[in-house]
Amino acid sequence: MALQIDSDNLKELLAGEKPVVLDFWATWCAPCRMISPIIEELAQQFEGQVVIGKVDVEENEDLAVEYGVRNVPTILFIKNGEVVDKQVGAASKSAFEEKIKALL
């Protein structure tokens, strides 16, 4: 299951050794709801290899601003604390899988 991310637990995750995938979303966003099941499947598929988390932009506006997120969904792919890839808008499960595998 994807973790619910806020400022406090994000710092801990980024300090860890595993790559991190952040899904910036909002409750009112139809494309966000569309990819949510895909994100959950990927969290199970890559469990133990990658940390996948969801950031509600309405509750964590500070993180959205910090990472320059202007549209949702935006998915950030982070390795060694640095954003190495980004997906703005919905995409297929296979597209997300390729981006995650590139982190490993």
* Residues known to be catalytic: 29, 32
> How many alpha carbons fall within 13 Å on the CB side of residue 67?
29
Owner of token pair 């190495």: 84
User: What is the token pair recorded at 104?
Assistant: 């490993």
d(CA 24, CA 54): 6
Cα gap 20→31, rounded to integer Å? 21
Q: How far apart are CA 42 and CA 65, in angstroms?
A: 25
